[in-house]
Amino acid sequence: MEMRLAKLWRELLLATLILVPAWSQSGGRAIVVQRSEPRGFQPVYSVDEPSRAVIGLLHAPLLRIHSETQETEAVLAASWKVSPDGRTITVNLRENLRFSDGAPLTVADVLFTFAVHQDAAVASPLREVLQVGGKPLVVTAAGPRRAQFQMAEPYAAGERLLAGVAILPRHRMEAAYQQGQFRSLWGLGAKPSELAGAGPFRLKLVEPGRRMVLERNLHYWKRDKAGKPLPYLDEMEFLFTAGEDAQVARLLAGEGDLAASFGGGSYRAIESHRERRGIRLLDAGPSLDYTFLLFNLNPGGKRPWFAQTAFRQAVSAAMDRESIARLVYRGRASPIRGPVTPARLKWYAGPAAPAAEPRRLLSAAGYRWNGEGRLLDPTGAPVSFTLLVNAANPAYTQTGAIVEEDLKKIGIAVQVVPMEFRSLVDRVVNRKDYDAALMALRPGDVDPAADVNAWVSAGRTRLWNLSGQALHPWEASVDEKMRALMATRDQARRRRLFHEVQRILEQEAPMVCLVSPNLLLASRAGLENVRPGTIGDLVLWNADEWYWRRQ
Amino acid sequence: MAALLQIANLRVTYPGAVSPLAGVALEVAAGEAVGVFGPSGAGKSTLLRSIPRLLPAGTRIEGTIRFDGMELLDQPESAMRRLRGRRVAYIPQAPAEALNPVLPVETQVAEVLRVHFPMARTALRAAVMERLVRYFPENAARIARAYPHELSGGERQRVVICQVLCASPSLLLADEPTSALDSVAQLDFLRLLRQTQEQTGMSLIFVSHDRAVLRFVTTRQVSL
Amino acid sequence: MKACLVFLLAIHLLAAMAGFVTAYPPAEQHRENAWEAPGARFPLGTDGLGRDQWSRLVHGARISLCSGLAAGVLSAGLGLLLGGVAGLAGGWVDRMVTRLMELFLALPWMYLLLAARAFFPLETDARVVFTALLLLLGAIGWARPARLVRGIVMSVKERESVLAARGFGAGQWYLLRRHIVPETLPALATYLSLAIPQYVAAEVTLSFLGLGFSGSTPSWGSLVGSMGSLDVLTDAWWMGLPVVVLAVVFGCYSIVSSALAETQRQGR
Amino acid sequence: MTFLLRRLGGALVQLVAVSALAFALMELAPGDYLEDMRVNPQIPAATVARWRAEFGLDQPAIVRYGRWVRSVASGEFGVSMAYGIPVSELIAGRLGRTVALSLLALGLTWLLALPCGVWCAAYRGGWLDRLLGGGATVALALPELLVGLLVLQGALWAGWGPVSGRIGPAVAVLAAVSFPSVFRHTRSSVGQSLRLPFVDHLRAAGLSETRILFRHVLPASLNPLVSLLSLSLAGITSASLVVEVTLSWPGMGQLLLEAILARDVAVVLAAVMVAATLLQVANLIGDGLLYLADPRIRRRPA
């Protein structure tokens, strides 16, 4: 009886919604089909994408980087200001902020959040990120709604440090934090009532392995231009399914409303079903991701050729990137020559200079070809090397096959070695026992700060040379330019320096960049305002603005 | 006295092989014990097995086999099945090994009785015991519950004879049942067989290459 | 049976002469002809990189048939040995072997394969690695046939004829050769007819688990695996043809193996 | 009673051996859980080092194993590195679903394969034999992964509606992939029993073929089939991992698959223990069945 009343009530409500056009955007549920399930709801420790996707809807940071404009945007902050010396950031909180459980969000919560992240006992993955010049940010309250962040030295991307740090509800977490049980707090088994956050949604229901339902946070601060509270949707549901094929199949079978981050093959499969199923497909163009062929340039590397710029350039020039994009990604990828893709709007240095002919580069460096067309190095030894690829991903094994064939054309014998991912990483990172490897990276931000670890000698993830030393002049040059770039707040200068670094990396090709897979998305027609971005969660970043168009 | 079984012009052809029998004739009167002898490979077994039509699928049988006024070669398989065990019984070559190793004796005898005389479970049990007692006057109860591996070779042979004859057939076909036995056991078995045949008045066709054996159990011998 | 033998012979001949019966090398990419349906130029069509599927099938047969067969026979041989010993000896030997079987069935062998892959130098020929890993898989797989053999041996041991032979004073070796091994043959033949295709196709599941090991060398496992995605199933039906060929070959294997077991039994 | 106790003791020893060996195997494989983060430029190396210490990955293997054993004793079965919660909590709901799926598939497989195998053994070369023999060969050439995908795709084309996350399709696929093995072995085993002398004898006594097959031949050929039962359970549980993943059944499959690749030791060990225990139970049941089915073992002459 009660059920029926509730249904009637909903019908009535719906009828009025249709009568009042200004309200027509509200209500409904969007079902997102995900390939993997969150590992938990702990905002501090979760580093995996599926967890971050859900946590991003449950919590909110002070500032964030707008996924489309790539500029810093206020979220919980009403405004922020960087001091002229670039060492202090002052953030003013919005008025009447509340967590989803109704408790007020104050500067105390901000202080608690940063204290947690900086506590060595907590072992937050952001602890080192929230340091500038080796010293932690000093966070102080400068009023009931004002917080101040002080850095030990000027740091160009200072306010970006705050972006993405979710503000934690102190009243919910402090007890566990004091008792040293912070890590096990809010695991996958947590009850929805234990959680609270300042994001647009709150947790409603968890069925491990199957699905998760979020409902609108009634205390969410944001309103649309008409003053109507966000989010528009009543509920967001996540449906977990393993593998891309199952993801696409569930979307096509009408079980879900949206799926993203699948490959070109799946795009093609949906395309051939499209008319029948009322699904809107979107190719949002290149993402920040880049795939590349990595040379082992560590000191003591076994292949002398790799140390020669001309050799690496020749390999890069021999790559048929168009074919990789067209065949492996079925046209849903963009050829690139450097690690910065066009998706990094103002930071992208533009297309690289046309490459020279690979054979000419090689013969200029003293290489020759024997009667069978095999490439011989200046000492007369035939050139051949092995290429590690991730065996689990067909896109990489296929790319490997194309690389092999392309290099065969210039006389280089490449042996593709498929390998399980962690074994591969172990070889590349720990044992440094490999010739070349096919890898992919996704920068977390468009700002050059995101690349520092990957490109400079001191960065511990500069994959081609993990020695921590600059072995070549160009490596030293990259170090120097990146250092300068991180210290200045002059945006034009930063951009110029970053463009120069890109040119060096394209020119020297320690990693031969191949393609950037496009961001692909499929949603049910009628789900409006789904606008894939480039930073943060590429699809869910504006989920609070999604709505169903009613017929 | 009319012949119980009349075989004329019998010709059996196995699929893709030479025909072991070509134009055989045999007559057996009711209550008569006939021995068939011949060298191995002469088709003795084939002759015997062609009567209840127990030959491999695809075998061609031509001629006439009249049993009790019926032309067996014209009968449908269902009719043949009713006939087998009930009217025409067959003792296999190595009776001691012809029992199912995983079922108790009682069940195995009951199975045969049940097919030909459907009856209630208790009645069936009683009927089985009655027949077992005939062959094992002293220890029928033990034998009934025993599994074949718990019996001696001689006991197993008796069980098989009991099983074969439990539906009181009018014709018994025996295919060298003693060939694997030593002479003492052979004599025991043959005695039992002759005794049973004389008591029940059924006809018997006994096949063997050993004419001494045939002379012991049969009244007439034909060569193949 | 005869037709099957002829067919198998033909397949093996084709595999042996792979270079002569194919127009293109298996790894050669005709990038302009990617996803081409079967036609005059590519009898079985091309894959997503424009490689000739016919050539990949024929060249793949070489490595897959050999290593699949070897892995199957290896596991069956080990199984016969250990299962036979367990069944015959009984007592603590049997208990040990049974425990070992359970151990082998439950362990996460994937990690051993990872370790073994890491053990080979990267330069090792992909075909060698492929064969070695498949053989390793076969060696690990002894528990299955062993358990089957043990069951059969235990029941054969109780059979009258065996007891009788034992009564004659027949030795263990004689029993093994004359009674027990022949009895297990049909079951082993059946096992092989199941195991060989599974070893050949093992690669599909392994590469799903991140442990593909054939690289750009064509193998039947990788051919079967390449049809397993929605777009291929939608667009390129001919990628399923290798499965048909596989099924026919394995069917023939199965018929021949059971026929062989049969003749072995009758010839006894 | 003593028999059961001894059996339990043996099982315990076995489980310890399985866990130790599984642990050792995982040690052999290159890389650890944190490898993924080592190539992530967004995670500083110092963080990785700190997490390594926190997870105890910097300790020698024997210490980590000891820690895990203690954790088992407390009922936690270790803590998952990926999820940060005890494994017992993590697998609680999913284990039941995987076991349910496996048992249903096992039941369905045997329910179908046993009669089919018996029938085809009796009518070798008949149409059913040819059909099932051919079908089984095709099923063998298609690994469970592909069968799952084909079902997904087929359902899409035919418009059967959703197949993901439902138990029916998952059971059907699992049964389909395990059918050939049970079918073929039944057929071969029954085929062998059909040659035993008692079959001919019963036929001559007028029993119908069906009666002979199912009442007499089948019990006589149970011995090797009982061995097959626990094997098919082992096969089905391992195949169910992949089928669960392709058809999105929320059991242990996805969890374990990710754990295997991520070297999330505690989760893998828990799954291995579950598999070993299931096998033990299956073997116990198998031995019991054998005892019941074969009087030659049950009633040995003294």
Residue A472 corresponds to which tokens in the numbers above? 């070549």
Tokens of A81: 């200001």
User: In C122-180, which ranges are continuous DSSP H helix?
Assistant: 126-140, 143-157, 160-167, 172-175
Within 267-326 of A, beta carbons closer than 8 Å to D belong to 273
- Residue D3: how many CB atoms within 10 A of its CB? 7
Q: Which residues pair with A537 in a beta bridge?
A: none
**For position A15, what pLDDT does the model report?**
46
> Regarding the domain delimited by D87-299, which CATH topology (the fold level of the hierarchy) does it fall under?
MetI-like fold (1.10.3720)
- What average pLDDT does this structure show over A370-385? 94
Amino acid at D119: W
Is it the case that chain A and chain C have 3 or more CB pairs lying under 8 Å apart?
yes
B97–C160 CB contact, under 8 Å = yes
Residue-wise pLDDT for D81-101, tens only, equals: 988 888 998 888 889 999 999
Packing angle, helices D127-141 and C241-266, rounded to 10:
120
Whether residues C231 and A323 touch (CB distance < 8 A) is answered with no
Interface contact flag, C118 D144, Cβ < 8 Å: no
Has residue A363 got a pLDDT over 50?
yes
D243 pLDDT above the threshold of 60: yes
Interval D89-145: pLDDT, tens: 888 888 999 999 999 999 999 999 999 999 998 888 788 888 888 888 888 878 888
Chain C residues inside the 8 Å CB shell of A394: 226, 229
- What digits encode the pLDDT tens for the residues D248-276? 888 888 888 888 888 999 999 998 898 88
CATH fold for the domain made of A59-175: Dipeptide-binding Protein; domain 1 (3.90.76)
Q: How far apart are CA D111 and CA D101, in angstroms?
A: 15
- Domain chopping of chain C, boundaries: 54-267
B121, B166 Cβ separation under 8 angstroms: no
The answer to which of A54-63, A287-296, A463-472, C196-205 has the lowest mean pLDDT is: C196-205
Q: Which two tokens stand for residue C54?
A: 């016919």
Does pLDDT of A18 surpass 60?
A: no
Instruction: Say which amino acid occupies A322.
Output: E
Which range of A8-17, A110-119, B30-39, C189-198 scores highest in mean pLDDT? It is: A110-119
Tell me which residue of B152, B142, B153 sits closest to B105, measured CA to CA. B142
Q: What is the spatial distance between Cα A521 and Cα A530, in angstroms, rounded to a whole number? A: 9
Nearest chain B residue to C158, by CA? B149
Which residues in chain C have their CB less than 8 angstroms from residue D26's CB? Answer: 108, 111
The answer to whether B86 contacts D216, with C-beta atoms less than 8 Å apart, is no
Q: How far apart are CA A54 and CA A203, in angstroms?
A: 9
DSSP assigned state of B148 = G
Helices C53-89 + C91-106 axis angle, to 10: 150
Instruction: Quick: pLDDT tens for C100-147.
Output: 888 888 888 888 888 888 888 888 888 888 889 899 999 999 998 998
Testing the interface with B: which of D190, D196, D201 to mutate, by most B Cβ within 10 A? D201
**In this complex, do C118 and A328 lie within 8 Å of one another by their Cβ atoms?**
no
The C-alpha of D205 sits at a distance from chain B's nearest C-alpha, in angstroms, of 4
**Distance between CA atoms of A439 and A289, rounded to whole angstroms?**
11
What pLDDT does residue C160 have?
A: 60
Q: What are residue A511's DSSP bridge partners?
A: A294
The whole-number average pLDDT for the span C226-233 is 82
CB–CB contact C152 D29 (8 Å): no
Give the closest residue to D269 by CA, choosing from C133, C149, C108: C108
pLDDT digits (tens, 9 = 90+) for A91-103: 999 999 999 999 9
Disruptive mutation site among B99, B100, B149 for chain C (greatest number of C CBs within 10 Å): B149
Instruction: Look at A363 and A486; give whichever has higher pLDDT.
Output: A363
Lookup: tokens for D50:
């700190």
Domain borders along chain A are 25-40+49-56+185-285+520-548, 59-175, 290-517
Residue B14 to residue C184: CA distance in whole angstroms: 29
**What sign has the CA pseudo-torsion A405, A408, A412, A418?**
positive
D134 touches chain C (CB under 8 A): yes
Give pLDDT, residue D157.
76
| Partners of A74 in beta bridges | A63
Answer whether C158 touches D (CB < 8 Å). Answer: yes
For residue D219, which phi and psi values (nearest 5 degrees)?
Answer: -60, -35
Q: A267-276, A529-538, B93-102, C203-212 — which one is most confidently predicted on average? A: A529-538
State the best of B100, B114, B155, B170 to mutate against chain D, taking most chain D CBs within 10 Å. B100
Write the residue in C103, C194, C229 that is nearest to D21 by C-beta.
C103
Q: Which residues make beta-bridge pairs with A528?
A: A547
Mean pLDDT, residues D48-63: 89
Is the Cβ pair A426, D35 closer than 8 Å? yes
Which CATH superfamily, name and number, covers B3-223? P-loop containing nucleotide triphosphate hydrolases (3.40.50.300)
Q: Where are the domains of chain D?
A: 87-299
CA nearest to A437 within chain C:
C122
Can you tell me the ipTM of this complex?
A: 0.84
For residue C194, the distance in angstroms to the closest alpha carbon of chain A comes to 26
- Tokens found for residue D228: 């097959």
For chain B, which residues lie within 8 Å of any Cβ of chain C, measuring from their own Cβ?
Answer: 96-97, 101, 149
**Between D144, D228, D275, which is nearest C106 by CB?**
D275
The average confidence (pLDDT) of chain B is: 84
Nearest by CB to residue A461, choosing from D39, D51, D251, is D39
Q: Which of D140, D187, D234 sits opposite C197 (nearest CB)?
A: D140
Residues recorded for chain B: 224
pLDDT exceeds cutoff 50 at C268: no
Over residues C189-216, mean pLDDT = 83
Contact at CB, A398 and C126, closer than 8 angstroms: no
Could you tell me if residue A413 is left (phi over 0), alpha (psi between -120 and 50 degrees) or otherwise beta? beta
Q: How far is CA C260 from the centre of its chain?
A: 17
User: Would you say A355 and A316 are in contact if contact means Cβ atoms under 8 Å apart?
Assistant: yes
Q: Is A425 within 8 Å of D94 when comparing Cβ atoms?
A: no
As assigned by CATH, the class of the A25-40+49-56+185-285+520-548 domain is alpha beta
CA dist list (Å): A23 to A27, A513, B216: 9, 48, 110
Which run of H or E residues covers position C79? helix C53-89
Interface present between B and A (3 or more CB pairs within 8 Å) = no
Q: How far is Cα B197 from Cα C33, in angstroms, rounded to an integer?
A: 85
Of D31, D50, D255, the CB nearest to A123: D50
Consecutive H or E run containing C31: none
pTM of the model: 0.87
CB within 8 Å of D8: residues ≥ 6 apart: none
- Spatial contact of A112 and A135, defined as CB atoms under 8 Å apart: no
What is the rounded average pLDDT for all residues in chain A?
89
Smallest CA–CA distance, residue D130 to chain B, in Å, is 17
- Subunits next to D (3 or more Cβ pairs <8 Å) are A, B, C
pLDDT of residue C162: 65
C54-267 homologous superfamily: MetI-like (1.10.3720.10)
- The CATH number of A290-517, from 3.10.105.10, 1.10.3480.10, 2.60.40.2140, 3.40.50.170, is 3.10.105.10
Any A CB within 8 A of C102 CB? no
